[in-house]
Structure 1
């Protein structure tokens, strides 16, 4: 494991003004918190955070990011709390650590609906501070480097997630080196035979051709020297996954693959980049259609470089990238270059992208998505595609994904123009709307006021923005009929279940199912996007329960306590199965169970010896856990009885009822209900909230009725 002084030396190499005391404190605190924990390899767990921090020093990141890497698993996996981290290291670092913690549990390869919601959380974390994602990506990189110690099915799951999510995200952030390594590490898990085959072919090729990279590098250096240019030349073979992907896309074998070598020329000025391009093209024949100038048209993540492919020695194709030293730094670090340090100060790089602007570009399209499917479509289109640059008749540049059409171009300018599009001219010639646009083309959109979006446009468009706008327009046209049909389907489903359909019920179900309002939910039912039965299942889950499950009694409800120990649920927070809990020992009274987020837990921060690590037993708990509901209902005959019936229908028992306030038009009351777990409570609240005569219902959190001194004496 890297020692703290060695880690500090790595940071000091690029930031002599680093806060060494802060890094030492974080190192010692992280090692203490992870004491006794082991990785699957058998190494101390703390080796992982230290390696993540070390990898981040290669990107010359600031002290806060390095410290976050050292602490990134403490809140999630140890007894450390947010408050403790904030007190020791400040709010900035605590927020970063907490941000990484929130991302740890995201299941990005789960069902599409859950995946979309988790992606929203991912981009929300990015919007708060992009350094959270930098730590998470580096965390994933180290985990992939050591993935061989995991079980095979876990390796496959992590590799798929890396290939589908983290590698493309690293690419969109401009960290191409990380994207390539993540892809190749995942490739070695998902298709080891293919990867090994490519590596064997490389070995054979090297035996046949000798050191190709050294020879071509020397050739390029000689041409640059003749042109009087000062530059560094670097060459490398492309990674196995990059080669395999190209073989799959072009459906050709390794022997027919040409450009498997890549070379970079790093110059001192932008003018030298173009002079170097001239020297390369004078010496070798340029391959048509393989030239891209990202200096005059940079990518959205700040990437600038000239790309060209030429026929080199023996007719072998090689790709050459030409850029300045500043451009190279951004190409290596991407958006992370914004935080890079040099000689103790933040490195001023005029090409580094402001993270706020980059995030605005990334999230603009996602915010327009109306549902989970559209959101996921937007994410994948944004992350997986390259770009083409087209021009308006006035010369303005419009950036679009590769394969975009005039429809996408029109919607990129303005939604209203997209809706009114009838045809387009590309470079002065009239073309069909399904024409694929190419770099540098001038596009003129022809509109008509009477035009409206057509259903066929969804298949023509490739951008998430265009597809979402078209779907919204088409949905608006058909919405009225869908709402009427959805209402009839819902009414029939409610009647079949012995329930009465109301606007309050549909609004409640809409909130639970992620729809804007009840009308939006009815429209989704009418459009066959949601079944009426699904609404019944959400509002009345007890109707879909068919098989009895044995109950877990109080004596087996808690894991982590001696079976002979007595315990109480704290009345201040009334913790339920399904919620994270902690035990506090009390002299002569066993253990009191609190919810982990209970406000009273701050009273015991300095008494950690009283904390007991416990959790609820998995399974179906008995409905004996009392919880208090704070409810406001209409003061009308029969309302209270109907509410009690609703609670009983959820298989929950009312153990007490107290009126807080009585008014001519409403009652405010507290109802003690015995439930199984947090999901059971949620079902009870939803059933009550769907009734028209319930103005408000929420979980009541009361102060403890027990004297404070009772829990102030250690057991």
Structure 2
């Protein structure tokens, strides 16, 4: 049984004496408030808040969270007012206790009612302070650990609510260890016989597997030693509820699930993760299509790791996760591992601490959104990852889309046919334009018609690649008249700026342009403009050129195809080079400015066919193009000479160089290098990587 003294000793390892004493004071206040109260087990009631605080201490939570844990039942069970707590412990602690108390009062009969109301109240509580949820999760976890003293019916009701609500919440917050314990305890309470049978089968299988597990573990350790890598190798066991779900949902036999051997390798640095990956792939043959890089692209709840599946000895499948210790902590404790709440404003947060501050600030700035069935994902996940939006189908399915997505993007995410035939949409039951950007938490309903087809104008506002690809594909199959009409409008708009019109064009000039473009009819040209294959401004310039005026031939060699007759310049913000995906932006006074396709400076006009057009490099493009590189390396004598020698050895040329010492050990060098194309740039970077002490090389671009 934990004691306040034992807890205080643990807290003193990461909290100051003053903060530990505040937690002690909250404990003694709770002890007095709950005096005479007993739990169902017969223990003094204060043992429960003490245990809840102990769970939070395992996560290294702050002293205010621990104080709230001590006091979380005081308002509800003892009649002490929130104002009294405010006077004793301050506003933050009182608000936390009040928030947890309101969550504790919720009881529901059905899963649907629970999801609609429970998540909504949690969202409102978390709008003030995300720590409310963490205290509530710890409270529920201790209650689940002591569930056996309750009657069978009440035990099953609490277990069901835990599996349906609290375990998914822990999962959303990336708190893997807590989710696993919730699920296994809930499974045991809901289905005690099934749980025990699987537990016994796992024990038996563990004995049979012990020799193979040891051999695989030893081979992995030897592999790391051979490569000069240090890391901790540990076997992973699937937890009981996970096994049960797979047996039930995927109709798989117990032996099928247990035949896969799972290991985790924990290392110190991110780059070591990738070196370990290469080492284990040399040791055992990887299974094609089973590698996932969640380090480069983390899961939405912050989880990071490398996943791979190998053919082990005798064909035994081996699942391996490779991660750093920080990622291991994040995988197990989620948001609690990131904790940095209201830290000293004078301190500059670094690395994960900065991300943690942004994470928590995002939740603190949350405002109550729509009042209908707010799922927890709306109240937490959305604001933690602001580059994505999460919306619901009318049936409650959650759809994840890039920020700025429209109803058309949503329709194509549901199904291609839904996108191709959509004609209108309802957002939160109200009709809205298809071009309206979606907000997180909205319910989107698509209105479709069997004979409807995509509109070329959708290309001006859709965000997702899937929508854009399918729209373009459908447009090619669609009646030409729609594209021709759009092309005609775009061309006439440009011609009007030259005080002309399609009706005023000379037939001979039209034919000359068609010959240059190798098109049969003028409608083909209008269709090309409507589909975005040609820029209306360029076509208009050629159509209006007088007989004596010379314009560059449409088929003559150019660095950029499709820019004939335009003043051409390259954007300095992203410095595109041959081989980069590029777009052209028509800029007043500058002509056509070539940007990289991903350049943030043109994101607002990227899909406006009047201002931007997709470009491609000519096959025979020649010349030199400047590109900026940022090289981080250990400080050493003769640094500039080493870099210049490497660039020169790769047939490159340094146009500009500047150096900054980050500290006495690391130097950051900015190089402007002239290269022919991306292939040439890759050679230069590869050569630079061979220099001793080089830690990182990045291309600087917008």
The TM-score, its normalising length taken from structure 2, stands at 0.55
| CA distance 1:229–1:202, shift in 2 (3 Å) | same
Task: Confirm or deny: 8 A CA contact 1:233 1:265 kept in the other structure.
Answer: yes
| CA distance 1:283–1:314, shift in 2 (3 Å) | same
Q: State the alpha-carbon separation in 1 of the partners of residues 367 and 425 from structure 2.
A: 19
| CA distance 1:365–1:93, shift in 2 (3 Å) | closer
Within a 5 Å distance, the mapping from 1:287-686 to structure 2 comes to 287-339=287-339, 350-351=351-352, 353-354=355-356, 357=359, 367=369, 371-372=372-373, 375=374, 378-379=375-376, 413-418=404-409, 433=416, 451-453=423-425, 468-471=442-445
Task: Confirm or deny: 8 A CA contact 1:330 1:351 kept in the other structure.
Answer: no
Question: Over residues 392-415 of structure 1, what are the superposed CA-to-partner deviations in whole Å (9 max), with x where a residue is unaligned?
Answer: xxxx986889999xx957786422
Task: Confirm or deny: 8 A CA contact 1:311 1:317 kept in the other structure.
Answer: yes
SS in 2 for 1:69: helix
Within a 5 Å distance, the mapping from 1:86-235 to structure 2 comes to 86-110=86-110, 112-113=112-113, 115-235=115-235
Residue of structure 2 equivalent to 1:80: 80
Task: Confirm or deny: 8 A CA contact 2:184 2:241 kept in the other structure.
Answer: yes
Task: Confirm or deny: 8 A CA contact 1:258 1:316 kept in the other structure.
Answer: no
Q: State the alpha-carbon separation in 2 of the partners of residues 467 and 97 from structure 1.
A: 27
| CA distance 1:27–1:91, shift in 2 (3 Å) | same
Residue of structure 1 equivalent to 2:56: 56
Number of residue equivalences: 432
Unaligned segments of structure 2, at least 5 residues: 428-437, 449-702
1:272 equivalenced with 2:244 (yes/no):
no
State the 1:272 CA deviation: 0.6
Question: Which is worse superposed, 157-166 or 241-250?
Answer: 241-250
| CA distance 1:97–1:399, shift in 2 (3 Å) | closer
State the 1:467 CA deviation: 10
Q: State the alpha-carbon separation in 1 of the partners of residues 201 and 381 from structure 2.
A: 28
Q: State the alpha-carbon separation in 2 of the partners of residues 231 and 224 from structure 1.
A: 7
Task: Confirm or deny: 8 A CA contact 1:258 1:318 kept in the other structure.
Answer: no
Task: Confirm or deny: 8 A CA contact 1:302 1:334 kept in the other structure.
Answer: yes
| CA distance 1:118–1:356, shift in 2 (3 Å) | farther
SS in 1 for 2:416: coil
| CA distance 1:357–1:334, shift in 2 (3 Å) | same
Q: State the alpha-carbon separation in 2 of the partners of residues 361 and 311 from structure 1.
A: 43
Unaligned segments of structure 1, at least 5 residues: 390-395, 425-430, 436-445, 456-463, 475-715
Question: Over residues 669-703 of structure 1, what are the superposed CA-to-partner deviations in whole Å (9 max), with x where a residue is unaligned?
Answer: xxxxxxxxxxxxxxxxxxxxxxxxxxxxxxxxxxx
Q: State the alpha-carbon separation in 1 of the partners of residues 26 and 401 from structure 2.
A: 52
What is the alpha-carbon root mean square deviation over aligned residues? Answer: 4.2
Question: Which is worse superposed, 33-42 or 101-110?
Answer: 101-110
1:25 equivalenced with 2:16 (yes/no):
no
Task: Confirm or deny: 8 A CA contact 1:144 1:186 kept in the other structure.
Answer: yes
Task: Confirm or deny: 8 A CA contact 1:330 1:337 kept in the other structure.
Answer: yes
Within a 5 Å distance, the mapping from 1:679-694 to structure 2 comes to none
Q: State the alpha-carbon separation in 2 of the partners of residues 197 and 466 from structure 1.
A: 43
Q: State the alpha-carbon separation in 1 of the partners of residues 139 and 174 from structure 2.
A: 17
SS in 1 for 2:127: helix
Residue of structure 1 equivalent to 2:590: none
State the 1:166 CA deviation: 0.3
The TM-score, its normalising length taken from structure 1, stands at 0.54
Task: Confirm or deny: 8 A CA contact 2:426 2:446 kept in the other structure.
Answer: no
| CA distance 1:364–1:28, shift in 2 (3 Å) | closer
Q: State the alpha-carbon separation in 2 of the partners of residues 200 and 381 from structure 1.
A: 40
State the 1:315 CA deviation: 3.1
State the 1:5 CA deviation: 1.5
Residue of structure 2 equivalent to 1:256: 256
Q: State the alpha-carbon separation in 2 of the partners of residues 468 and 248 from structure 1.
A: 33
| CA distance 1:200–1:273, shift in 2 (3 Å) | same
Task: Confirm or deny: 8 A CA contact 1:169 1:383 kept in the other structure.
Answer: no
State the 1:27 CA deviation: 1.4
State the 1:53 CA deviation: 0.8
Q: State the alpha-carbon separation in 2 of the partners of residues 471 and 330 from structure 1.
A: 36
Question: Over residues 347-397 of structure 1, what are the superposed CA-to-partner deviations in whole Å (9 max), with x where a residue is unaligned?
Answer: 9672364376478589999935x744xx4xx55799999xxx9xxxxxx98
| CA distance 1:183–1:410, shift in 2 (3 Å) | closer
| CA distance 1:22–1:466, shift in 2 (3 Å) | closer
Runs of 4+ residues deviating >6 angstroms: 344-349, 361-366, 380-385, 396-404, 464-467
Within a 5 Å distance, the mapping from 1:26-41 to structure 2 comes to 26-41=26-41
State the 1:222 CA deviation: 1.4
Task: Confirm or deny: 8 A CA contact 1:168 1:384 kept in the other structure.
Answer: no
State the 1:156 CA deviation: 0.6
Q: State the alpha-carbon separation in 1 of the partners of residues 390 and 321 from structure 2.
A: 22
| CA distance 1:104–1:15, shift in 2 (3 Å) | same
| CA distance 1:258–1:207, shift in 2 (3 Å) | closer
